[in-house]
Amino acid sequence: MCGIVGYIGTADATAIIVDGLQRLEYRGYDSAGVAVLNGKGIEVRRDVGKLSNLRARVQADPIHGTLGIGHTRWATHGIPSQRNAHPHVSMAGDFVVVHNGIVENYLELREQLMAEGVNFASDTDTEVIVQLIERYAHAEVEVDFASAVRQAVRCLRGAHAIVVIHKHEPNQMIAVRIGNAGGVALGLGEGEMYVASDIPAILEHTRRMVFLESRQMALISREGYALFDLDGQPLVGDVQTIAWDPVSAAKGEYKHFMQKEIFEQPRAITDTLGGRIDFEHHRVHLPDLNLSAGHALELRRLVTVACGTSYYSGLVGKFFIEQIARLNVEVDYGSEYRYRDPIIDRQTAILAITQSGETVDTLAAMEEARDKGGTVWSIVNAFGSQAMRVADGTITMNAGPEIGVASTKAFTSSIVDQYLLAIYLGQLRGTINDEQRVALVQDASRIPALVSKALELDEQVHQLAGELYHFTDFLFVGRGLNYPIALEGALKLKEISYIHAEGYPAGEMKHGPIALIDENMPVLAIAPRDGLYEKMISQIEQAKARGGLVIAVATEGDTLIAGKADHVLYIPQTAELINPVVSVIPLQLLAYHIAVWRGADVDQPRNLAKSVTVE
Ligand code: AGP
CA pair distance 341, 343, nearest whole angstrom:
7
Check if 610 is active-site: yes
Residue of the CA atom closest to atom 6 of ligand 1: 308
Question: Please, what's the b/e burial string for 472-492 (b: 16 or more CB within 10 A of its CB; e: otherwise)?
Answer: eebbbbbbbbbbbbbbbbbbb
The whole-chain average pLDDT of the chain stands at 93
The stretch 33-51 carries a mean pLDDT of 91
CA pair distance 35, 57, nearest whole angstrom:
13
Q: Kindly tell me if the per-residue pLDDT of 87 is higher than 80.
A: yes
Confidence of residue 609 (pLDDT cuts 50, 70, 90): confident
Q: Kindly tell me if the per-residue pLDDT of 397 is higher than 60.
A: yes
CB atoms < 10 A from the CB of 466, how many?
A: 13
Atom from ligand 1 closest to the CA of residue 406: 2
pLDDT, tens only, 475-503: 999 999 999 999 999 999 999 999 999 99
pLDDT, tens only, 415-441: 999 999 999 999 999 999 999 999 999
CB pairs under 8 A, 24+ apart, for 565-574?
565/525, 565/540, 567/464, 569/457, 569/460, 569/461, 569/464, 570/457, 571/450, 571/453, 571/454, 571/457, 571/528, 572/450, 572/453, 572/454, 573/529, 574/443, 574/446, 574/450, 574/528
Nearest 10 degrees: CA dihedral of 36, 42, 43, 44? Answer: 80
The predicted structure's pLDDT at residue 46: 93
The predicted structure's pLDDT at residue 75: 64
Max Cα separation, the chain? 84
pLDDT, tens only, 511-528: 999 999 999 999 999 999
CA pair distance 16, 201, nearest whole angstrom:
9
CA pair distance 334, 402, nearest whole angstrom:
21
Q: Kindly tell me if the per-residue pLDDT of 529 is higher than 80.
A: yes
Residue 181 CB–ligand 1 contact under 6 Å: no
Mutation test residue for ligand 1: of 257, 258, 309, 498, the one with most atoms within 8 Å of CB: 309
pLDDT, tens only, 333-360: 999 998 999 999 889 999 999 999 999 9
With CA atoms as reference, report the closest residue to 242 among 206, 203, 207, 193.
207
pLDDT, tens only, 456-474: 999 999 999 999 999 999 9
pLDDT, tens only, 557-575: 999 999 999 999 999 999 9
pLDDT, tens only, 12-33: 999 999 999 988 766 556 789 9
Cα angle for residues 148, 152, 157 (degrees, 5° grid): 160
Check if 155 is active-site: no
Per cent of the chain over pLDDT 90 is 81
Confidence of residue 394 (pLDDT cuts 50, 70, 90): very high
Contact partners, residue 561, CB within 8 Å, separation at least 6: 527, 537, 540, 552, 554, 568
Q: Kindly tell me if the per-residue pLDDT of 72 is higher than 80.
A: yes
The predicted structure's pLDDT at residue 29: 67
Q: Kindly tell me if the per-residue pLDDT of 76 is higher than 90.
A: no
The predicted structure's pLDDT at residue 27: 57
Q: How far is the CA of 544 from the centre of ligand 1 (A)?
A: 33
The predicted structure's pLDDT at residue 436: 97
Q: Write the burial class of residue 589 (CB in 10 Å: 0-12 exposed, 13-18 middle, 19+ buried).
A: buried
Q: When comparing pLDDT for 102 and 500, which is higher? A: 500
Contact partners, residue 377, CB within 8 Å, separation at least 6: 289, 349, 350, 351, 352, 391, 392, 393, 394, 395
In one letter, which amino acid is 242?
A: I
The predicted structure's pLDDT at residue 249: 65
Q: How far is the CA of 534 from the centre of ligand 1 (A)?
A: 33
Residue 308 CB–ligand 1 contact under 6 Å: yes
Predicted structure pTM score: 0.76
Q: Kindly tell me if the per-residue pLDDT of 1 is higher than 70.
A: no
Angle subtended by helix axes 458-468 and 579-597, to nearest 10: 50
Cα angle for residues 63, 8, 604 (degrees, 5° grid): 70
Q: Kindly tell me if the per-residue pLDDT of 85 is higher than 90.
A: no
Q: How far is the CA of 307 from the centre of ligand 1 (A)?
A: 6
Identify any residues that bridge with 6 across adjacent strands, giving them in sequence order: 69, 195
Atom from ligand 1 closest to the CA of residue 410: 14
3-state secondary structure 447-502: HHHHHHHHHCCHHHHHHHHHHHCCCCEEEEEECHHHHHHHHHHHHHHHHHHCCEEE
Q: How far is the CA of 355 from the centre of ligand 1 (A)?
A: 7
With CA atoms as reference, report the closest residue to 49 among 57, 41, 39.
57
pLDDT, tens only, 136-152: 999 888 789 999 999 99
Residue of the CA atom closest to atom 9 of ligand 1: 308
